[in-house]
Structure 1
Amino acid sequence: MESIPKSSGEHPGGETPHRDVAAPSGDVLEDVLSRLAAVEASTTARAVLAQVLTATLLAFTRTSSVRDPLPDTAPGSAEEALAAMAGVDHLRASLAAVDATWQVAAEQRIRRDDAAQGMSAEEQGRGAGQEIALARRISPAASSFSQAKARRLVQHMPGTVDRLWSGAVTDQQASAVAGALDGAGDETCRRIDDEIREHPEMLHGKGHRRLQAEIRAMVQRLEPETSRERAERAARSRHIRMTPLGDGMARVTATLRALDAVAMMNSLHSRAESQRAAGAKTSLSALEADLLVEDVQHGAQGGENADLSPRPRLRPGLDIGIIITDTALLGRDDEAETAQLEGYGTIPAHIVRDTVGGRPPGHLRHDEGEHPDEEVAAFYRRLFTAPRTGDLIAMESRARAFPAGLARMLRWRDSTCRTPWCNAQIRHSDHALPYHRGGPTSFANGQGLCARCNLLKEHGLWVLTPVSRTGSGDDSGPGDDPPAGAAPPAAWIWNSPHGAMGISPTPPLITPWPTPPVAVEEEPRDEEPQDSAGPASSPPP
C-alpha cells in the first residue's frame, strides 16, 4: 500500500521524522480516507480495513490512560505526546484482538482446505502453524504459542477479547491471562472470563507476573482435582535453553521444578557470598555463574566421586567446533576478525586466540602468572575459509542421507534453523529442493532445520526457489539439478501452500565485512493496492 502522508516534513515533537513524505494538499485525514475509499477489494478485506480504522479512531478519542485524549490536547505540549503514546498502546490492544481473531480464522480455513483435498482428520491443519508464522514474520515456535493463546481467547474468553478490543485490557495482560490458563479446562476459562468481563478493575495496574500469579491461584481454586495432573505435566516439560549474546557471552535459562530452582539459587548465592567474604574481587553475580559452570562440568567429569578430584574448566575430550581463518587465529591481532562457534554463532576471534593462549576474557588475576585454566583439554576443529566471502568449498554426496561431515558443515554454516524467522536449534539436515524431485545431496542444496520445520515442510506444497548471487533469480528452477560443486544460492525464497512468503539468506561460515546484501526482485505493484487473492470465501468466525 502507499505510504500514509504526514502534514509536514517535521515530526510533531520537533525531531527528525521516521521518513520524509511529501505533504499532500488539503487535510491529511481527508486525503488518507479518500485513498482508502478508493481501494478495490473484497467485502471481507474492506471490512478488515474498516475495523482497523475504527480501532484507530477509538484508541485516540477514548484513551483511558490519560486525562485528555489526543484531539483535546494542545499542539506541541507534553500532554499531546503522552496522549499519542497512550493512544498507540490502546491501538496495540485493539489490533491484538483483531490479530487473535484472524489467527483462529486462518487456522480454520487451512483446515477446511485440507479437508477438501481429502486429508485425514489427523493431518488437517497440521501445517497451519508454519504458514501463519511465515505470514506474521515470527518463528514457528512463537507462532505456536501465539495460536494457542489466540484459540483460548477467541473460543472460550469472548469477554476478555471485547475488553482487549476496547483497550481496557492491554495486549500483555491478555497474553498473560491466556498463558496462565494453559492446561485449564474450558469451563474454568469461561468462569475467569466472566470475572474479567464483570470486574475489569481486577486488572488495573497489574503487571503480567502478578496477574499470572492471581490467575493461577484462581485455577487452583476452581480445579483442585486436576492440580496433581497439571503439576506432573508441567514437570515433564522442564528444559534448558541457550541464547547467544554479544561479545562472546550467552544466556542459559532453565525451566525447573520450583523447589529445585530455589534450592539451587540459594546454594549458589551463599557460596558466592562466602567467596566474597574470603576476599574474592569478582562480583557476586559473576561468582554465582562461575560456580554453576564448575558444578556442571565437575559433575559431568567425576560423577559420585567428583568432590575428590580437581576441577578443570573444560572436560577432557570436549569437542568444540570453531570455524576461523588462519589470519584470525595465527596472524595479525585484528580485533575486527570473527570466528564461528558451533551451537552459538559469531564470536570475536580474539576470544578464541586468548582462550587457546590461556587468557580467557573476564578473569581477574591476583598474582602474575596465575590462571584458572590450568588444564584445557578441548579438541578444536578448525576449517579455513575464504577471507573475502566466508564460503567453504562445496561438498557432494551420491547418497540420500547427508554424510556426517557434510551435515556438520551445514550446522556450522546455518547456525540455527533456516526456516524464515525460526530461531530453533538445528536437528535435521534437509534437501532444500527435495531429493525425490531431483535435489542433490550437496552443500549448496543442503540446509539445517529444526525437527518441527523439517517434518512440516513436506505437509502441503511448499516451494523453495533459489536466488542467485546476482539477485536476478537462479537459472535453475525447483527440481532442476544444480551443477556439481556449485556454491550455495544467496538465499531461498519460501512459499507456503496458501501464499505466505519469506526469505532465508544463506549465511557465510565467516561473516565478511561489510555483509553483502541479498537482492531479491519484487513483482511490480500497481499504484493502488489490489486484493490479488480475490474475494474471501467467508468472514472470520
Structure 2
Amino acid sequence: MDSIPMRSGDHPGEDAPRQGVAAPSGDVLEDVLGRFGEIEAGPAARALVAQILAAALMSFTRTRAVRDPLPDTAPGSAEEALAVLAGIDHLRASLAAVDATWQVAAEERIRRDDAARGVPASQQGRGAGQEIALARRISPVASSFSQAKARRLVQNMPGAVDRLWSGAMTDQQASAISGALDGVGADTCRRIDDHLREHPEFLQGKGFKRLQSDIRDLVRKLEPETSRERAERAARARHVRMEPLEDGMARVTAVLRGIDAVGLMHSLRTRAESLRASGTKDSLSALEADLLVEDALRTAQHDEHSTGPDRTADDAGTTRPERPRLRPGLDVGIVITDTALLGREDDAEIAELEGYGTIPAHIVRDTLLGRSPGHVRSCEDEHPDEVVSAFYRRLYRSPRTSELVAMESRARAFPAGLARMIRWRDTTCRTPWCNAKIRHSDHVVPHHRGGPTSFANGQGLCARCNLLKEHGLWVLSPLSRSQTGSDGPDPRTGTGAGRSGPAHPDPSVPPGAWIWSSPHGAVGTSPTPPLITPWPDPPPEEDDHDDPGPPGTSPAR
C-alpha cells in the first residue's frame, strides 16, 4: 500500500497539532477511505485493514474515558483535545488485542513451516521469537515476554481479549493481568477471566501495581496448593541488574527474598545513621550506597600494604567508609584515548566503560588518581583514596579507518584477547534491537562455512541470540561504511541510499553494519559501533606540528 502524503492545516481547529492527511479534494475522511478501498490485497489482508479501521472508528465515537466523544466536541475546545487523547488510548487497547492475536498466529505459522521443513518436533517454532522480535523492532527478551503474555490471553482468556478490543480494559491493565498470571495453570486463567467478565467493576480505576497485586491475591485463593511451588520458582529467579544513568552513575537493582531484602535495608540504614551521628555530612541515602559497595567488594579487597582500619577520618574528624581496594584479578575494561587519559584535561572527552557505555573521561582520570569523581580541581582540601593500581595495554587504530588493528586467529574459538576486543567494540549483543549483555563471541559468517576467526568476522552476542541464530535460514549481509549514506542503509536491499559498490571491500576491517534477514522475511540493521566517538570534535592544536603517529586507545583494567 502506498504511503498517504501528510500536510498541515487539514484538521479542524486553529490550534490543533499540525499533522493532517492531505486530501486532493473533497472531505479528508472520504478521500482516505477511498485510498483504503483501492488496496489490492487478498481477503485476509483486507479484513485486517477493515478491522483496524473499525477499531479507529469505535475508539473515537464510543470513547469511555471522556463525557463527550470526539464527534460531539466543539472544534478547538479543550473537550476536543481530551476526547482525542482518550480515543488514542482506546485505540491503543484495541490494537493491543489485534497485536496479541497476530503474535500467536505468527508463532503458530512459523511452527507449521518448521514442521513442513522436517524440523524435529522439539525444535519447531524455536526461532519464532527472534523473527517476531525483529519484525516488531524490539529486543528478543522483550518479545519473548510479550509472546508469553499474548499466548496466555488469546488461548486462555478470550473474555479479556474482548474487553481489550472494546476499550473496557487498557493495554497496561492487560499486561498487568497477564504478567501476574505467569506460571499459573490454564484452568486458573480461565476462572479469573470469568471473574473479570462477571465483575467488570474489578478493573475500574486500577493501575498496574494495584491490579497485579489483586490478581495475585485471586491466584492465591484459587491455587493455595501451589503456594510453595510458586515461592520456590520466584526464589530461583532472584537476580541483580545494572542500568547505566547519566553523568557516570548507574542504578543497581536486585530481586531478593523479601526477608533478605528487609534485613539488608535495615542494616544499611542503621549503619548509615551511625555514620551521620558521628559527623559525616553525606546524606543517608548516599551513605547507604557507599556501604553497599563496600560490603559487596569486601571479598575483593586484597592489598598487602593495607593495615588501616575499616573507617578513615578526614582532617575535620569526619568518619567515612574506607573505599574498597580492588584486587589485581578484578578486571574492569575501559577504552579511552591516550590524549584523554594522559594529555590535556578536556571535560568533553569520553571513554567507554565495559558493561556500562560511554562515560566522561575525567571520571576515569579522577578514579585512577584516587580523587572522587566530579571533584572541583581548585579545591585544596582533597582527600585522595588509596592508590589504584591499573594495567594499561596500548592498542593502535588504523590512521585511515580509525578502526582497531585487526586480529585474526586460525583457531575456531576466539582467543581471549580477540574476544575482549570484540566485546569492547560491541558493548551489547549485536542482534538488532537486543541490548542484552554479551556472553558469546560469534562468527558472523559461520566457521563451518569458511568464516574466519577474525575481528572483522566476529561479533558479540548474548547466549540466547547466539543459540537461535543458527535456527533456520538466517542470512547476515555486510554493508560497507560508504554504503550507509546519510539516510542510513536500506535493510530490504542491503544498500545505502543512492550508494553502490562492493558490500565489504576490505575483509580485514569490520563492515559498517550487518543486515540481518530472518527465515520468513523480517529484516533489521546492526551497525558496527565506533570504539570511541568524540563529540564535539576537539579543536586542532595550532602549536603542535609534529606527526602524532597513529591514534591509540588504552584499555585499562
Q: TM-score, normalised by structure 2?
A: 0.85
Separation in 1, partners of 2:534, 2:401: 6
Q: Does 1:46 align with 2:46?
A: yes
Given the alignment, which residue of 296, 306, 326 partners 1:315? 326
Write out aligned runs for 1:265-414 (5 A).
Answer: 265-301=265-301, 311-317=322-328, 318-362=330-374, 368-371=380-383, 373-379=385-391, 381=393, 383-385=395-397, 390-414=402-426
1:143 is displaced (CA, Å) by: 0.4
For 1:220-276, what per-residue CA distance to the aligned partner results, in whole angstroms no more than 9, with x for missing partners? 111111110111111011111112222211111111111111221222223323333
Give the secondary structure class of the aligned counterpart of 2:96. Answer: helix
Change beyond 3 A, Cα 1:206–1:316:
same
Secondary structure, counterpart of 1:263 in structure 2: helix
How much identity, in percent, do the aligned residues show? 72
Amino acid across the alignment from 2:275? Q
* 2:359 counterpart SS class: strand
Q: How many angstroms apart in 2 are the aligned matches of 1:506 and 1:350?
A: 26
1:362, 1:513 → 2: CA distance? Answer: 20
Specify the SS of the correspondent of 1:410.
Answer: helix
Find the aligned partners of 1:94 and 1:449 in 2 and give their Cα distance: 35
How many Å apart are 1:46 and its aligned residue? 1.1
1:512 offset after TM fit, Å?
A: 4.0
**CA apart distance, 1:12:** 5.0
Q: What is aligned with 2:205?
A: 205
Change (3 A) 1:283 1:114: same
Aligned amino acid, residue 105 of structure 1: A
Cα 1:4–1:55 shift into 2, 3 Å = farther
CA 1:269–1:390: 2 relative to 1, 3 Å: farther
* Closer/same/farther in 2, CA of residues 381 and 47 from structure 1, 3 Å limit: farther
Aligned to 2:223: 223
Indicate if the aligned counterparts of 1:282 and 1:364 stay in contact, CA closer than 8 A.
no
Equivalent residue for 1:451, pick from 463, 469, 473: 463
d(CA) in 2 for partners of 1:488, 1:13: 52
SS at 1:281 equivalent: coil
| Kept in 1: contact 2:429–2:461 (CA 8 A) | yes
Using the alignment, how far apart are the partners of 1:21 and 1:333 within structure 2? Answer: 52
Match of 2:529 among 498, 503, 507: 507
CA distance in 2, matches of 1:2, 1:356: 55
The letter for the 1-side match of 2:326 is R
Hey, what does 1:14 align to over in structure 2? 15
- Structure 1 residues 309 and 357, CA, compared in 2 at 3 Å: closer, same or farther? closer
> For the structure 1 residues 236 and 210, does the alpha-carbon distance in structure 2 shift closer, same or farther, using more than 3 Å as the test?
same
* RMSD value, Cα: 2.6
Does the aligned pair in 2 maintain the 1:313–1:372 contact within 8 Å?
no
Cα deviation, 1:57-97, whole Å, max 9, x if unaligned, reads 11111111111111111111111111111111111111100
| Corresponding letter in the other structure for 2:9 | S
The 1:238/1:508 distance shift into structure 2, 3 A limit, reads same
Question: Do 1:5 and 1:28's aligned partners in 2 also have CA atoms closer than 8 Å?
Answer: no
- Which residue of structure 2 lines up, in the alignment, with residue 438 of structure 1? 450
- C-alpha distance in 2, partners of 1:377/1:308? 20
For each residue in 1:5-41, what CA deviation from the matched residue of structure 2 results, as whole angstroms up to 9, or x when unmatched? 45616895737636x8755422111111111110111
Which residue matches 1:495?
517
Does the CA contact (< 8 Å) of 1:493 and 1:504 recur in 2? yes
Structure 1: 5+ residue stretches without partners = 516-541
Q: Any conservation in 1 of the 2:242–2:251 contact (CA below 8 Å)? A: yes
**Cα pair distance change 1:98/1:314, threshold 3 Å:** farther
Shift of the alpha carbon at 1:307?
12
Look up the match of 1:538. Answer: none
Residue 274 and residue 72 in structure 1: after superposition, are their counterparts in 2 closer, same or farther (change >3 A)? farther
1:376, CA displacement in angstroms? Answer: 2.3
CA distance in 2, matches of 1:183, 1:118: 31
Deviation at 1:440, TM superposition (A): 1.4
**More RCO (CA 8 Å, sep 6+):** 1
How far residue 381 of structure 1 moved from its aligned partner, in angstroms, is: 5.0
- SS of the counterpart of 2:332? strand
Equivalent residue number for residue 117 of structure 1: 117
Partner residue, 1:105: 105
Q: Any residues of structure 2 matched to 1:148-159 within 5 Å, and which?
A: 148-159=148-159
CA distance in structure 2 between the partners assigned to 1:483 and 1:364 by the alignment:
46
Which residue is equivalent to 2:4? 3
Provide the aligned length of Structure 1 versus Structure 2.
Answer: 506
Between the aligned partners of 1:390 and 1:350, the Cα distance in structure 2 is 23
2:256 — aligned with what?
A: 256
Specify the code of the residue in structure 2 equivalent to 1:98.
Answer: V
Q: 1:354: Cα distance to partner?
A: 1.7
Match of 1:521 in 2: none
2:481 maps to which of 469, 489, 501: 469
- Contact conserved, 1:406 with 1:443, CA < 8 A, in 2? yes
Shift of the 11–278 alpha-carbon distance from structure 1 to 2, 3 Å rule, reads farther
